[in-house]
Homo-oligomer: A and B are copies of this chain.
Amino acid sequence: MTTLEPSDKALVPFVSVDHMMKLIHHIGVEQMMTGISDYIESDFKRWELFDKTPRVASHSEKGVIELMPTSDGDVYGFKYVNGHPSNTKDGLQTVTAFGLLADVATGYPVLLTEMTILTALRTAATSALVARLLAPKGAHVMAMIGNGAQSEFQSLAMKAIAGIDEVRLYDIDKAATAKCAANLAGSGLKVVACETAEEAMLGAQIITTCTADKQYATILTDNMIGSGVHINAIGGDCPGKTELAPAILHRSEIFVEYPEQTRIEGEIQQLDPDHAVTEIWQVLTGQAKGRSDDKQITLFDSVGFAIEDFSALRYVRDQIEETGLFHPLDLLADPDDPRDLFGMLQRAK
């Protein structure tokens, strides 16, 4: 039988930006980050199952375009993501992304989705999962250095997952701080806009740095950091892009996602390639120790890893069927007789 309508197999569920926003509001942003964090935790606990590779990066003067693939043997996922710090001055996002899941057994895609917003959620979910694991007991105040697109998500994920009730905001651009504070009004967080990074860190047990310059920057200097804190360093995430003074790294117990990638992209690109680091998945499975005492400085040198995107994609896939928040996209040619691609084309004339 010849049909010109795409078959079920040809149609890939597509989650647009509009559908993603509807999905987030349907579930609730904090609830969704908590859900994604649970998926990340469960995937990190089966870390050894995954195909892992540093992301495939194409660098230019203006920024980077990356592909981040991984697979657990049953499902394959990848994310396309760019990082262009100079985009904001042209009214564009620094980071945009989309992602895909496919069935390993057939190679057929099963989900295509926007990931600009979803990446913000999964990054914050990862930060908060790790902060819950490593921050000092009773941590409830976070300094948020850098109040750009990621800052509200970080704040709310830390509230929902890591028990934070106060965020202290600082950005070199006061308008960014005002925007973040306004967006967090009514969230249940105590929000304090600060004039300096030092002021933001007053009384904070968790210090999150999330700035976007593609250059070696020193957002935190050594004398700014006391003992007994957890540093969540997100902004150092590509070669030549760091935020912390090396002296801080030497005083810290350093935790990373995937050392092979972090040594290229993270804060530890400033250290010897054999400097000891602990992998988060090993702390989650009990194979490695997390924080050992209240005085320690723990540092999560976060660059973002493909498995976190994979978890977020899995989470979205598990939500959309019930909610119907997707379009079927005519992405795959699927002739009745798989050898007859040409015949399908001819019959469409």
A92 within 8 A of B: yes
Contacts of A336 in B (CB 8 A): 91
Q: Is there an interface contact between A18 and B348, defined as CB atoms closer than 8 Å?
A: yes
Contact B120 A108 (CB under 8 A): no
Shortest distance from the beta carbon of A109 to any chain B beta carbon, whole Å: 7
In-complex Cβ contact of A106 among B22, B51, B90, B176 (8 A)? B90
Q: Is B333 within 8 A of A117, CB to CB? A: yes
B contact residues around A56 at 8 Å (CB): 53, 56, 67, 69
Q: How many residues of A contact B (CB 8 A)?
A: 85
In the complex, the answer to whether B116 meets A92 with C-beta atoms within 8 Å is: no
Shortest C-beta distance, A219 to chain B (Å), equals: 17
A148 to B168, CA, bound (A): 63
- In the complex, the answer to whether A331 meets B152 with C-beta atoms within 8 Å is no
Leading 6 A-B pairs by shortest Cβ distance: A82-B107, A152-B342, A16-B330, A116-B333, A149-B341, A21-B348
A contacts, CB < 8 Å to B: 6, 9-10, 14, 16-18, 20-22, 24-25, 29, 51, 53, 56, 58, 60, 62-65, 67, 69, 71, 73, 76, 78, 80, 82-84, 87-88, 90-94, 96, 98, 100, 102, 104-109, 114, 116-117, 120, 147-153, 176, 179-180, 182-183, 329-346, 348-349
